[in-house]
Amino acid sequence: MLSTPLVVAACFAYLLLLFGVAYWADWRARQGRSVIGNAWVYALSMAVYCTAWTYFGSVGRAASSGVWFLPIYLGPTLAMVLAWMVLRKMVRIAHSYRITSIADFIASRHGKSRLLAGLVTVITVIGIVPYMALQLKAVASGYHVLAGPPGGGAVTAVAWWRDSTLYVALALAGFTMVFGTRHLDTTERHEGMVAAIALEAAVKLLAFVAVGIFVTWGLFAGPGDLFARAQAVPELERLLRLDQGQGFAYEQWFALTLLSMLSVLFLPRQFQVMVVENVDERHIRRASWAFPLYLLLINLFVLPIALGGLLQPGSTTAQAETFVLSLPLAAGHHTLALFAFVGGLSAATGMVIVEAIAVSTMVCNDLVMPWLLRTRRFGARSAVDLTGTLLGLRRAAIVGMLLLGYLYFRLAGEAYALVSIGLISFAAVAQFAPAMLGGIYWKGGTRNGALAGLMAGFALWAYTLMLPSIAKSGWLPDDFLLHGPFGIELLKPERLLALGTMDNLTHSLFWSLLVNAGAYLAVSLWRRPSGAEASQALMFVDVFHRARRPAHGVAPALQGSASDPVFWRGRANVEDLLSLAGRFLGRERARRLFEDFARSVGADRVDRIPADAQLVQFVETHLAGAIGSVSARAMVGAVVEEEPLGLDDVMRILEETSQLRAYSQALEEKSRSLEQATAELRAANLQLKSLDRLKDDFMSSVTHELRTPLTSIRALAELMRDDPAMDDAQRGKFVEIVVAETERLSRLVNQVLDMAKIESGHGEWHSTDVDLRELVTQAVQTTVEMIRERGAEVFVDMPAQLATLRADKDRLMQVLLNLLSNAAKFVPREGGRIDVRMRASATGVTVEVQDNGPGVPEHQRSLIFEKFRRGGDATDRPTGTGLGLPISRRIVEHFGGSLWLRAEPGQGACFGFDLPWNAGAAGGESRVD
């Protein structure tokens, strides 16, 4: 029992805090440092789904029927799995065409029908009223528990002017007006409201979890103790089971899951926070799992609180809805009880604020405005500035909504549990599903189809769910419930056509959705869609193909390219359109918008803007943000001369645009391939240049190499010619040298030719099955004599067996001989040692030839594989052409292998090569003669 002033003061302090947060967020937004541009805030704001129903009602539901409180949260979880596809599409459509409410969405999709917008609004208002009443009831009974006399009478038992609930309703209305209608915005974004809602989400979660922890660990010794004691009581044990002793109503479970799945997408407040207030599509990624996680967390302690409450002596199931407050209160924890109440207040106010703003926008834009604009005083040709009227209308709508909610609360509030009231509203908004989902995925839906579907669905909802709820509260004779109207049993509202044994909710949902979807399909298919319907269908269904992701703050129309189709034809006047926009957006804002548009189309002044279809669409889209697409269409239609578009015109415009797009795509493609070709040519040119330089280097190296032996041959020959008296021994020695030098010359020329052949790809390759063991043995035998002359020894280490590989035997022999003779050249004069090792692996064979000579100095390691580079210093350089290693490397590479040098300081040089098993196949250019 808390004192009334304390509770009231706490509530007002909390609301004031909320308002402060909202004001701060609005201020930050004006500074360009938005606080809601954050995926976490977006996810938290979605938690406006959890209202007083969740906060108080779930515990009540759990106390009476166990896990049955869960489907209402499992459905949204499943819906969020698909959010990345479905919700993102809704967001893209709404942002592209400046749609600010569900009514606008459905009406805009089906040919911008005024009738349809009005119908959706009426359904929403009637459907949402019970839900508003639920919040009022929850706050009122919570307050009653906290501050009312113990064991006092029912909440509604006082006269209406003394009823605190009425004042709660009025306070909430005032608060909502301050939040939502302080100024007019064409995008209907309310940054401050979203920030406050996110804070409320955090508060209600914390408060509920705090109570849960208190019950589980404060009143009991943890979950084990709590559940053990509950299971000892047969009535409570039953709550922890699936079927609770009777058959499990799977169809009802299914219906609740489906219902909540649709509600989370189509409740006006969810549409407001998820679609209209969305800042960035990418936030949907994070929110799609963070929001279900929130739902899980807030439901974690529902069962413990319900069971803990029922285990208290003297408590009944009927009191369960206020266990969250009464349990801490009974235990003397007044602060916790007050915190819990503030949490409940958060849940209720969050819902009321967002719902009222969303519905008031709808009432104003889709119900009142279209009617108002037809009157002479406010009509298209009038010059009255309407921005003030718009705000006034919305404020009146907010007060109206809350008073209606209060009325329902007075009428039917006592007869129903919170959850049942909420489900009536859920079933009403579920009626939007066929027109919404059909509208964004099916191009065939028409205005008449949507009208027929919605009317049929709504009628059945009212007859099978709403009417019985009023009758059961005693305001209507319940005769027709029991025996059917006029005694016709087949028309009993809760058992139409005497079909099945469904509970009343499942029954109502089944019939209303069946008839709704059926009528939508059937009537849509009846007639070909009109031009307006077809063009809107294309814009909605193909939104991902046409509209690009709109950047925040940039008008979609400014981003559109010439290849986006504009379904409009006629004559317009810039001056008329400007003054029209000024009436609804304010003169100053309209002028700025037009200046931006002028810049985007390349006109230097506003009056130079070409008054074409693009401008008309630009103005219409912006007006749609302020007064709804239906009214915007009517207004623009009144100030421009337009030609009506038929279905054929729409198709032709579409075809022209898609042709235009195809042309521009082809052009882009061509220029891309041209660029690519240029780059390739440039690369080829570079390569040619470097090859040319290499060739020059090669030529100069070759001539240099040829000159050395030639010089010595010539010098010796001249000596012999000029000195006829030279003795024979001397002459013989000279001739020997000449012959040796000539041999070196021809070897050089042969190798150069060989190299040239291999490099040009004209080398001759004779691939056969080669036994590498045999080849190595042969190569060692050939060179062993030369090696022995240099005082060195050869050691061979080979596997005992080796598969053959396909390669050119002579060429491989050439490589082996080259490596062996190289090694022989560098071994020391005494104690020289050459190791030949062969290893086989799964992929190929490795052969290495290691000597114990000086090794290859670091700076030469990469050079020795180049042509005419020889190892060793210039002074003690052994003889050789400098082509051996390059040729060997080419040969090995030809067979898909690699030739390498492994040098460890002080260990001599180790040259080796790897050959893959399928070596022959790698030699793509081999010619078998």
Partner 1 sequence: MFDSLTAQRLLALFAAGWLLFDYPLLGLWDRDGTLLGVPVFPLALFAVWGLLIVALALLAEGSGRD
**Is residue 503 at the binding interface for partner 1, with CB under 8 A as the rule?**
no
Pairing of strands 805-808, 767-770: antiparallel
- What is the rounded distance in angstroms from the CA atom of residue 165 to the CA atom of residue 172? 10
- Determine, following the binding rule CB under 8 A, whether residue 391 of this chain makes contact with partner 1: no
Q: Does 243 engage in binding with partner 1 (CB under 8 A)? A: yes
Taking the complex as a whole, the smallest distance from the CB of residue 11 to partner 1 amounts, in Å, to 33
* Closest CB 627 distance from partner 1, rounded Å: 31
Does 78 engage in binding with partner 1 (CB under 8 A)?
yes
Cβ 223 to partner 1, closest distance in Å?
Answer: 6
- 407 vs 33: CA distance, rounded Å: 42
Is the separation of the CB atoms in 530 and 604 below 8 Å? no
Beta carbon of residue 66, minimum distance to partner 1 (angstroms, whole number): 8
Pick from 152, 153, 222, 791 the residue near partner 1 by CB under 8 A: 222
Count residues contacting partner 1 (CB under 8 A)? 40
Run of H or E residues at 768: strand 767-770
Binding segment for partner 1 (CB under 8 A), chosen from 296-304, 572-580, 797-805, 851-859, is 296-304
Q: Given the complex with partner 1, which of 301 and 913 has the nearer CB atom? A: 301
> In whole angstroms, how close is the CB of 290 to partner 1 at the nearest point?
8
CB 48 within 8 A of CB 269: yes
Closer residue to partner 1 in complex, CB, 84/160 = 84
Q: Which stretch binds partner 1 (CB under 8 A): 235-243, 310-318, 613-621, 724-732?
A: 235-243
> Which CB, 27 or 84, lies closer to partner 1?
84
Specify the residue for token string 């592209």.
96
- 283, 883, 918 from 857: Cα distances, Å: 61, 19, 34
Cβ partners under 8 Å of residue 879, min gap 6: 744
Contact predicate 402/356, CB 8 Å: yes
User: Residue 571: beta bridge partners?
Assistant: 641
Residue placing its CB nearer to partner 1 in the complex, 278 or 767: 278
Looking at the Cβ atoms of 80 and 460, the one nearer to partner 1 is: 80
| 178 and 90 Cβ atoms separated by less than 8 Å | no
Site for partner 1 in 690-709 (CB under 8 A): none
Give the x/- contact pattern for partner 1 in 26-65, rule: CB under 8 A. Answer: ----------------------------------------
Rule CB under 8 A: is residue 288 a binding residue for partner 1? yes
Which residue among 19, 289, 865, 917 contacts partner 1 (CB under 8 A)?
A: 289
Q: How far is the CB of 224 from partner 1 (least distance, A)?
A: 2
Q: How many residues does the chain have?
A: 929
**Based on CB atoms, which residue is closest to partner 1, 227 or 913?**
227
Coil/strand/helix, residue 279: coil
Q: Is 157 in the site for partner 1 (CB under 8 A)?
A: no
Q: Are the C-beta atoms of 793 and 906 separated by less than 8 Å? A: no
Looking at 8, 10, 17, 67, which residue binds partner 1 (CB under 8 A)? Answer: 67
Sheet holding 792-797, edge to edge: 792-797, 832-840, 844-851, 909-916, 898-903
| Residue 887: CA count within 13 A, CB half-sphere | 24
Q: Which of 24, 65, 89, 334 binds partner 1 (CB under 8 A)?
A: 89
Count CB atoms within 10 A of the CB of residue 447. 23
Q: How far is the CB of 89 from partner 1 (least distance, A)?
A: 7
Asked if 214 contacts 327 with a C-beta cutoff of 8 angstroms, the reply is yes
Of 153-161, 236-244, 460-468, 893-901, the segment contacting partner 1 by CB under 8 A is: 236-244
| Stretch touching partner 1 by CB under 8 A, among 45-53, 240-248, 739-747, 858-866 | 240-248
Binding span for partner 1 by CB under 8 A among 290-298, 482-490, 790-798, 859-867: 290-298
- The least CB distance from residue 79 to partner 1, in Å, is 9
Q: Is 70 in the site for partner 1 (CB under 8 A)?
A: yes
In whole angstroms, give the CA distance from residue 247 to residue 82. 32
Closest distance between partner 1 and the C-beta of residue 295, in Å? 9
> Residue 642 pairs with which residues in a beta bridge?
570
CB of 324 to partner 1, least distance (A): 19
**What are the CB-based long-range contacts (under 8 Å, 24+) for 776-783?**
776/816, 776/836, 776/838, 776/847, 778/813, 779/813, 779/816, 779/817, 779/820, 780/820, 780/836, 782/817, 783/817, 783/820, 783/821, 783/824
Q: In this structure, which amino acid lies at residue 862?
A: S
Alpha helices in 723-846 (DSSP H): 728-760, 772-789, 809-826
Part of the chain binding partner 1 (CB under 8 A), chosen from 297-305, 487-495, 499-507, 788-796:
297-305
User: Which stretch, 84-92, 445-453, 563-571, 635-643, contacts partner 1 (CB under 8 A)?
Assistant: 84-92
Which of the ranges 67-75, 195-203, 664-672, 716-724 carries the binding residues for partner 1, by CB under 8 A? 67-75
CA distances from 275 to 45, 280, 286, 359 (A): 11, 10, 15, 15
> Does position 407 bind partner 1 by CB under 8 A?
no
Asked whether position 13 contacts partner 1 by CB under 8 A, the answer is no
Instruction: Report helix angle 613-627 to 587-601, nearest 10.
Output: 150
Among 12, 40, 250, 795, binds partner 1 (CB under 8 A): 250
- Of 533-562, binders to partner 1 (CB under 8 A) are 544
Residue 77 makes contact with partner 1 by CB under 8 A: yes
Q: How far is the CB of 629 from partner 1 (least distance, A)?
A: 23
Q: Which residues contact 835 (CB under 8 A, 6 or more apart)?
A: 794, 795, 797, 848, 849, 850, 851
Closest C-alpha among 463, 429, 464, 435 to residue 449 = 435
- Judged by CB under 8 A, the stretch of 174-182, 291-299, 572-580, 717-725 that binds partner 1 is 291-299
**Residue closer to partner 1, measured from CB, 251 or 642:** 251
Helix (H) or strand (E) holding 636: helix 629-639
Of the candidate residues 159, 242, 874, 928, the single one contacting partner 1 (CB under 8 A): 242
Residue 286 found at the interface with partner 1 (CB under 8 A):
yes
In the complex, least distance from residue 843 CB atom to partner 1, rounded to whole angstroms: 34
Q: SS3 sequence, 724-741? A: CCCCHHHHHHHHHHHHHH
Q: Which one, 293 or 691, has the nearer CB to partner 1? A: 293
The residue type found at 929 is D
Among positions 1, 9, 13, 82, the unique one binding partner 1 when judged by CB under 8 A: 82
Residue 18 CA: distances (Å) to CA of 15, 67, 558:
5, 34, 36
3-state SS assignment for residue 498: helix
- Residue 285 Cβ, how far from partner 1 at the closest point, in Å? 5
Contact positions with partner 1 (CB under 8 A) in 761-820: none
CA 846 to chain centre: 51
Give yes or no for residue 227 binding partner 1 (CB under 8 A): yes
Which member of 43, 80, 119, 815 binds partner 1 (CB under 8 A)?
80
Alpha helices in 486-561 (DSSP H): 504-526, 531-541, 543-546, 556-559
Of residues 37, 218, 223, 916, which one binds partner 1 by CB under 8 A?
223
Dihedral sign (CA 104, 106, 107, 108): positive
Task: Pick from 38, 187, 231, 701 the residue near partner 1 by CB under 8 A.
Answer: 231
User: Applying CB under 8 A, which residues contact partner 1?
Assistant: 67, 70-71, 74, 77-78, 80-82, 84-85, 89, 222-225, 227-228, 231, 240-243, 248, 250, 253-254, 257, 285-286, 288-290, 292-293, 296, 299-300, 303, 544
